[in-house]
Amino acid sequence: EQLANQIAAGEVVERPASVVKELVENAVDAGSTAIDIAVEEGGISLIRVTDNGSGIDPDDLETAFQRHATSKIASGSDLFRIASLGFRGEALPSIAAVSRVECVSASDDSGLGRRLAMNGGTVVASEPVNAPRGTDITVRDLFYNTPARLKYMKSIQTELGHLSDYVNRIALAHPGIAFTLRHNGNLLLRTTGGGDRLQVIAAIYGTNTAKAMLKVSAEHPDYDLNGYISKPELTRANRNGLTVIVNGRTIRSYIVNQAVIQAYHTLLPINRYPLAVLEIGMHPSLIDVNVHPSKMEVRFSKEAELREFVEHAVRDALSGIRH
Ligand code: ADP
Ligand code: MG
């Protein structure tokens, strides 16, 4: 069982950013309106995610850390979940197998919750505690018991870069949730949760950048799109400024990225990229289920059509400032 969890951990937990992704997605799924993330040393020594969501019933807390203990039923409307069936209910046990985890959770406002502590997946404490509704998970010493994996950790700056890149994307996808991200006590990101995506853009990229964004919005029988793109003078040396959200989830899509870049075609110098935050809605049947959710890569069944739609929408938004 422990070995199975360590093997599963290899699939789910690649680096600190993957732990943050799994914990924050659980917090989002739990209906939280505020999610606080604190990490130390790029997340390698500590990752703490605190939410005010539905919490875990004290009687279910230990079970939640056992394999396939998902409370989430895959519905036909959520193909991402069906696609990730292999991973359902594996995140918490996988994380626990390769770290020291402490979880405090309460599922009502009685003030009573439960605390569970585990080392390498072995329970070392389980007791009732006073706790507000919500969940507070701390993951310490990631990969402390799997030295081979620990060796693959990059520098603190690299791990922090992956991690904060992910938090930026999830904050952009959920402007209605108030996020904070702290590294070694320093505040790196704070969003208000007021629902305004432009405010999140300002929090991440700065107020001047937010002011220089153009609104994009388009409709199509198969898709709808809305979001913001930067004026051509706001360019970056890499594609990290392209955030794509499909049906509420942040994804990576070569097709969508190419469509955006193509729309700027003659407007950008070579090897410069725009900023863009695009939320695309589509019927789940148009998402190829043959994806690797933990890597956020998604493919679409009508790639050419989607590409043309996105390119057209971005061109339209840019056309207002062309002359
Ligand atoms: P999955 O998310 O695929 O169901 P996880 O291993 O990530 O599997 O979580 C297991 C279960 O623990 C979830 O189904 C959920 O019931 C519960 N859970 C985990 N994190 C939270 C949270 N932050 N708030 C409420 N419930 C949670
Ligand atoms: Mg999960």
Q: How far is the CA of 176 from the centre of ligand 1 (A)?
A: 21
* CB within 8 Å of 56: residues ≥ 6 apart: 64, 103, 105, 107, 114, 135
Q: Distance between CA 48 and CA 137 in Å, rounded? A: 6
- Residue 79 Cα to ligand 1 middle (Å): 18
**Looking at ligand 1, which residue's alpha carbon is closest to its atom 9?**
89
pLDDT tens digits along 129-187: 999 999 999 999 999 999 988 888 889 999 999 999 999 999 999 999 999 999 999 99
Q: Using the mean position of ligand 2's atoms as its centre, give its distance from the Cα of residue 87 in Å.
A: 8
What letter represents residue 229's amino acid?
I
In angstroms, what is the span from residue 223 Cα to ligand 2's centroid? 27
- Collect all residues with Cβ–Cβ distance below 8 Å to 9 and sequence separation of at least 6: 94, 95, 97, 98, 146
Kindly indicate the confidence band of residue 3, based on its pLDDT and cuts at 50, 70 and 90.
Answer: confident
C-beta of 154 in contact with ligand 1 (< 6 A): no
At residue 243, φ and ψ (nearest 5 deg) are: -115, 125
Using a 6 Å cutoff on CB, does residue 18 contact ligand 1?
no
- The three-state secondary structure class of 287 is strand
Question: What is the 34 CA–ligand 2 centroid distance (Å)?
Answer: 17
Cβ–ligand 1 contact at 301 (below 6 Å): no
Residue 323: pLDDT over 50: no
Pocket test for ligand 1, best of 71, 81, 294 (most atoms within 8 A of CB): 71
* Residue of the CA atom closest to atom 16 of ligand 1: 71
**Residue-wise DSSP of 175-208:** TTSEEEEEETTEEEEE---SS-HHHHHHHHH-HH
Distance 29 CA to ligand 2 centre (A): 8
> ipTM of this predicted complex?
0.99
pTM: 0.92
Question: What are 27-75's pLDDT values in tens digits?
Answer: 999 999 999 999 999 999 999 999 999 999 999 999 999 987 778 766 6
Ligand 1 atom showing the smallest separation from residue 135 Cα: 23
Neighbours of 182 (CB within 10 A): 16
From the list 252, 294, 292, 296, the residue with the least C-alpha distance to 91 is 294
Q: Which residues are placed with Cβ below 5 angstroms of ligand 2, an ion?
A: 26, 91
Task: Check pocket membership of 74 for ligand 1, CB cut-off 6 A.
Answer: no
Give the model confidence (pLDDT) of 178-212 as tens digits. Answer: 999 999 999 999 999 999 999 999 999 999 999 99
Pocket test for ligand 1, best of 70, 81, 136 (most atoms within 8 A of CB): 70
Q: What is the pLDDT of residues 77-129, one digit of tens each?
A: 666 665 555 567 889 999 999 999 999 999 999 999 999 999 999 999 999 99
> What is d(CA 76, CA 186) in angstroms, rounded to the nearest whole number?
42
Task: Write the pLDDT tens digit of every residue in 220-234.
Answer: 999 999 999 999 888
pLDDT above 90: residue 271:
no
- Which structure tokens are listed for 33? 């309106």
H/E stretch holding 6 reads helix 2-12
C-beta 27 within 6 A of ligand 1: yes
Phi-psi region of 129 (alpha: psi -120 to 50; beta: other; left: phi over 0): beta
Q: How far is the CA of 64 from the centre of ligand 2 (A)?
A: 10
The mean per-residue pLDDT over the stretch 307-321 comes to: 93
Q: Is 163 helix (H, G, I), strand (E, B) or coil?
A: helix
Confidence class of residue 248 from pLDDT cuts 50, 70 and 90?
confident
